[in-house]
Amino acid sequence: MTSVDPITLAVVRGAFEQIADEMDAVIVSSAMSPIIADAWDRASGVYHPETGEVIAQGSTSLPVFVFVMQDTVQEVLKDHDPSTMQDGDVFVLNDPYRGGTHTMDVKFVRPYFRDGVLTAFVADTGHWPDVGGMSPGGFSPTATDVYQEGLRLPPVKIYEAGRINQALVDVMMLNMRVPEERYGDMAAQINALELGCRRLDELFDRLDRDTVFACVDELKRRSEKQMRDHIADIPDGVYHFSDELDNDGVDHGTVPIDLQLTVEGSEITFDLSGSASQCRGPFNSPLASTITGLMIGIKHVFWDVPVNSGCFQPFHFVIPRGSLFDPEPPAPVNGTTTETCQRLAGVVLGALAQAIPGRIPAGAFGTASNICIGGNSPTKGHYAAIFNYGGGYGGHAEGDGLTNGPNLISVARNNSIEVLEHTLPLLFTKYGVRENSAGDGQFRGGFGIEASFRLRDGDAYLTLLGDRGTAGAHGIEGGEAGQPADHDFRVDGKSFKAPHLTKIDRLYLRPGDGVDLRTPGGGGYGKASQRTSAARRDDAENGFLEDR
C-alpha cells in the first residue's frame, strides 16, 4: 500500500473538492433555467471507478444529493459493465427509483479514462423546471403514480464515445415543455462533465494513480473516524421523535413520520418502522432520498466531517419496504426532496436534541412552498418554471433563529424577484418578513416571509406544493412553536384557501390573479419569560412583532 504524506493528502483532497466546485460553477454560469442558474439547485462530484462511491462533492452542491449522487453512479454500474465503457460516454437518468429524488432532477454520469483505464466518474445533476408530466413545472400534489410526474429515464447513454444520441435527445425534448431551455440546461451539465475530466487530467499529470487512490482511501478512513468520534461523544441510548405532514395532497388526514434513533458506541441506527405506509399522494421518499435526509440531519450537527463515502459507514437503517420511506413503484414521489426528506432531517435533529441538549436548535420551518407555473404570454412566450421560498429556523442556545433561511435539505438561494419578473409574466406586489411568525422564547425562532404576486398577461396554470399548514415548527426547552404556513389564492377578485391548505394543483390564472404566500416561522428556544426586554424592544422597533 502506498504511504501518504500529509501535504500530498491535503493537495489531493483540495483538488477533488475544487474540481467539484468548478463543475458547479460551470452549471450555474451557463444553465438557462433560473432554478439552476439563480437558485443553484444542482450538484456535482467525483466518484470511485469501481464502487461508484462519492470521493468529493461541491461545497455549494445541494445537500439533498449528498448520498443520492453516489446511488446514481452505482445505478449506472448496475446496468453497464465498465469494460464496455469508452472515453466520451455520458449516461443520463432521472428515474426516482434509480438514483433517487424526483423526475425533475436530471443526472449525467461520465466515465473518466486515464491512459485508456477507467479511473473515475464525474457526475452532476440539475433541477429541470419541466420534464413533462401533468403539471407545468414538475411538482404535482395530486399525482397518484410516478407516470404522471414526467418522462422517466433509466441509466442510458446519451453520448457514446463523444457522439450524441440525437434520437434519444429528440424523444426527451418532445416530452418536455419549453425544450429550448432544456437543451441549454443539458449543455451546461455536459460542459461541466467535460471540465471535470480536464481537471482530473491536470491532477493525474502531477500525481500517479497509486498515490491519488491511496489518498482517496485515507480520506475515506479519516472521514469515517471523525464521524465515529462524534457519535461516540453522544450518550448511548434510544431517542425518539415524531412529526407529521399535513396531508398527502390526495387524501385528507396527516401522514406520520416517526424516528427511533439508537446510539451504541460509535454507531447509530435509524428506525423508521413507526412511520406511515406509502401514501397515495406524491410525498413518498425513495430509499436513496430517505438515507440522504437522515444524513443531512446528522451533517447539520457534525458539519465538519468531509463528504465522502466514509462518513456514511457508522450508520444502519431499518426502513420497511412499502413504507413512506421506501415505497414500491409506481408510487408518486415528486414531493420527496423539498418536503418529506426535509422533515426527515428535522426529526433527526429533534431526536438528537434529547441526546445532546444545548447543541440542537428548535424546529425549522420545514417546507419549500414550491411554486410551479406554466402558460402562454404575449410578452414572454411559452414558459414553465419553478421557484420556492424560505422560512424561519429555530432559536438556539446562543441566539435567535435565522429569518428566511433555505430549507434544511438545501443551500439553494431564493430566486431574485428581478429574475422572476424578467423571465415570467409576473408582478410581485409584496416580499418581506412575515411579522409574528416566529415562535417565542428566550431566543425566538426566525421569521417566515410574505410574498405576493399576480399574473401580468396571458393565462397560466399554477401549482403550489408545500406543507406545515396545520402545526408550526416545534420549540424546545420551553420555547413556543412557530406559526404554520398560511396561503391565499386570488382568482376573479376573490380570495380563498386551498382544500389541502398548502397544496393546490393547476389553478387556472388570468391577468390579475395570483397568490399570497406566508411561510412558517421557526420554533423558540427556552422560556419566553426569559427573553430580555432589550431583545423584545429590538424586535418591535424592527417591525417584527406588530400587534402582538
The reported pLDDT for the residue numbered 1 is 59
Report residue 548's pLDDT band, with 50, 70 and 90 as the boundaries: very low
Place of cell 445537500: 63
The reported pLDDT for the residue numbered 66 is 86
pLDDT tens digits, 35-53: 999 999 999 999 999 999 9
Q: State how beta strands 267-271 and 315-318 pair.
A: parallel
User: What is the spatial order of strands in the sheet that 459-465 belongs to?
Assistant: 381-387, 370-377, 459-465, 503-509
The amino acid at 239: Y
- For residue 370, the cross-strand partners are 465
pLDDT tens digits, 157-206: 999 999 999 999 999 999 999 999 999 999 999 999 999 999 999 999 99
Residue 485 has pLDDT above 90, yes or no: yes
Place of cell 460509535: 266
pLDDT tens digits, 395-432: 999 999 999 999 888 777 788 999 999 999 999 999 99
Give the residue extent of every domain in the chain.
6-223, 361-548
Rounded to an integer, what distance in angstroms lies between the CA atom of residue 339 and that of residue 352? Answer: 20
* Grid coordinates belonging to 317: 437503517
Rounded to an integer, what distance in angstroms lies between the CA atom of residue 459 and that of residue 462? Answer: 10
The reported pLDDT for the residue numbered 175 is 97
Rounded to an integer, what distance in angstroms lies between the CA atom of residue 294 and that of residue 343? Answer: 10
pLDDT tens digits, 255-288: 999 999 999 999 999 999 999 999 999 999 999 9
C-alpha separations of 39 from 127, 209, 416 in Å: 10, 36, 8
Residue 546 has pLDDT above 70, yes or no: no
* Grid coordinates belonging to 375: 402558460
Phi-psi region of 448 (alpha: psi -120 to 50; beta: other; left: phi over 0): beta
Rounded to an integer, what distance in angstroms lies between the CA atom of residue 126 and that of residue 141? Answer: 21
Rounded to an integer, what distance in angstroms lies between the CA atom of residue 171 and that of residue 150? Answer: 13
Nearest-5° angle of CA 498, CA 499, CA 500?
90
Radius of gyration of the chain (CA): 23
The reported pLDDT for the residue numbered 396 is 98
35-39 long-range contacts (CB < 8 A, ≥24 apart) are 35/127, 35/129, 35/385, 35/386, 35/387, 35/415, 36/126, 36/127, 36/128, 36/185, 36/188, 38/413, 38/415, 38/416, 38/419, 39/387, 39/388, 39/412, 39/413, 39/414, 39/415
Summary mean pLDDT of the chain: 96
**Residue 373 burial (10 A CB sphere; 0-12, 13-18, 19+):** buried
Q: What would the mean pLDDT of 369-389 be, rounded to a whole number?
A: 97
